[in-house]
Structure 1
Amino acid sequence: MTDEQPPDREEPQAREDRESVSLDPETVRRLRAMTRMVAEDMQRHVAQIVIPFRERAAEIREQAEAALAGVRSTLERAGRAAVDAIERTVPPNWDLADPRGLVELFRGRFDLAVEGVVVTWVPRNSVLNAIENTDDGDDRRAVLVANADAILEDCRQALQLVADSDGRPVTVMLAGYGLEAVDAAGDGRWAAAQALAVNVLETSIRRLLGKKLPQLRDESIEWDDAATLYWLRESMTMVAVQPALEGWWPDRQPVPARLDRHATVHAVDPVQYTQANALQAVMLVASLLREAHQMWLRRSRPVIGRCRT
């Protein structure tokens, strides 16, 4: 036996198929030429589509960038305008960089004002922060006494601005008397300062707000999520006055330690006449007159009477 393998034999059908597709050289040349022509034609068509698209895409991109630049500029201007508006509205004695944010800052200060703490225009932010960290009225009064010089300086600046202005004459006049109360306090005449400041406060309520004391005392001034910043600032100014108007009945109640208009007028007593109460009275006057002057500049009616009840 031999190890040699028989030669492969091509099947007849395969050989027939191979022979049937054989092309002569001229046909092959023509097919290749046609293929090149088709390829070149396709390249031309693709170029006619792609190149203009690229050019148009660049044009569109430039237009989009120009439009975005315009939008950015508009947003920047709107942002600056919004910040300016907020800065004009937020009491200048507040710190806009407060980590609580603007809404929570307003809410926290509003709650303080409801408790009788003066928060608008005076005193400065560091004193307000110290008051916020107290637990009760005694601690708050201690903060006022500890910061008496700074508080009087703040009140003087606020009242001097009104007194030196061309504002409403009655407001200018009352600011002058408020400054006399500040002077008395600065000289250590706390009782005189308290008595004068309380009378200026009462006159301001009657003549500037057009309200009788019980009307302001009983006015419902509550937090409103939909309120404007102006409304909130005016409301905080007014609501801080209310606790001083609560009333005191000498035949039924002991002389209160907190500032009380009725007790100041009708009960000369060391429990009522204190350095802390004198400072509170002067701050109420400075805050109310400064806000009244601002409302006059804006030609707006006082918020009292417009509050939601």
Structure 2
Amino acid sequence: MTTLISSELSATIQAMTRQWSDDLRRSLRPLLDPEVLRTFQRNFLPSNLRDYVDEVSAHQVYEFLQQEGIPLYLVPRGATAVRLLRAGDRQARRKVLSDRYSSIVEDCESVLDGAQHPAVSEEVAFMRDGIGAMRAGHTKSAQALFTVTLDSLISRFYPDRHARTQITVRQSAGIPDIIDSMGVHQAFVWLPVWNAHEQFWKEKGDEIPHHYSRHASVHGVSKRQFSKRNCVQALMLVTSLIGYADDLVSRERD
């Protein structure tokens, strides 16, 4: 009798499990549709990369921005961003900045043209002055202007010094909590800003880096740090942040 009950119970459980599995597959089928997954992935990408959803993923963008001070949010245009993502190392990425210098400036101008909210108008005006200096060949002056504009914007976003320090003092212990707790797009904006704030202590004998460094730009004036590549990188960082800020305040107004 016990064996019979056990057999019936086992058969019942197996039937219920099969039914549950069939129901689960049916309920998940819409989510597993390739076009649904593609749309889901596309929405996670920055707007300038959404037309390239078949070539890059949001995960790739995040991994890139975890280690690099070059933004991919709003700027540069998608084709240039894909080239940056595919570049094998920092030297290759910096070459992309050189090769696409003029078009990157145009991309940044386009974003700045679209930033119409009065809350960012002063920063936009300074950025236009900096672009004018770039086009006149004064990239060192422009890089200095972009760097102080970056400082100003960060202070507006994070007036609290403790919170701001998590952005402006890049430790080697990993992504700070303030960024780790952000949504995907917000993290896309702030990760390269954080990376651009790697520690630099001239008094401790740190070598001035060739790549863009906010602290080296301010505390280590040198031809190694002030260059066309670093100038356009600083332009991209501030433009990305201005575009993000403009979008935030515009949505709040609406």
Q: TM-score range by the shorter chain?
A: 0.7 to 0.9
Matched, 1:197 2:150: no
1:246 maps to which residue?
198
1:40 maps to which residue?
none
1:152 maps to which residue?
105
Provide the alpha-carbon RMSD of the alignment.
Answer: 2.6
Q: 1:97 to 1:247 in 2, by over 3 A?
A: closer
Structure number with the bigger relative contact order (C-alpha 8 A, sep ≥ 6) is 2
Distance 2:94 2:62 in 1: 19
Contact 1:123 1:154 in 2 (8 A): yes
* 1:175-234, Cα deviation, whole Å (9 max, x unpaired): 111121122222221101110001000100001333544231453334x8xx8xxx2111
Contact 2:139 2:231 in 1 (8 A): yes
Q: 1:114 to 1:288 in 2, by over 3 A?
A: same
1:13 maps to which residue?
none
Q: 1:214 to 1:148 in 2, by over 3 A?
A: same
Matched, 1:91 2:46: yes
Post-superposition offset of 1:99: 1.7
2:185 maps to which residue?
233
Structure 2 counterpart SS, 1:280: helix
Distance 1:107 1:88 in 2: 12
Which of 195, 216, 237 is equivalent to 2:167?
A: 216
Post-superposition offset of 1:89: 7.1
Post-superposition offset of 1:274: 0.9
* 1:103-133, Cα deviation, whole Å (9 max, x unpaired): x611111111122221100001111111122
Distance 2:136 2:50 in 1: 30
Structure 2 counterpart SS, 1:131: helix
- With normalisation by structure 1, the TM-score equals 0.61
Distance 1:147 1:97 in 2: 18
Matched, 1:107 2:59: yes
Post-superposition offset of 1:139: 1.3
Contact 2:72 2:188 in 1 (8 A): yes
* 1:155-176, Cα deviation, whole Å (9 max, x unpaired): 11111221xx2x243x221111
Q: 1:268 to 1:172 in 2, by over 3 A?
A: same
Which of 88, 95, 106 is equivalent to 1:135?
A: 88
Distance 1:141 1:105 in 2: 22
Structure number, greater radius of gyration: 1
Number of aligned positions between the proteins: 207
4+ long deviations beyond 4 Å: 85-90
Distance 2:152 2:226 in 1: 20
Q: 1:256 to 1:174 in 2, by over 3 A?
A: same
Contact 1:121 1:290 in 2 (8 A): yes
Identity of aligned residues (%): 24
2:233 maps to which residue?
280
Q: Which runs of 5+ in 1 are unaligned?
A: 1-78, 301-309
Distance 1:192 1:91 in 2: 30
Matched, 1:123 2:90: no
Q: 1:265 to 1:87 in 2, by over 3 A?
A: same
- With normalisation by structure 2, the TM-score equals 0.73
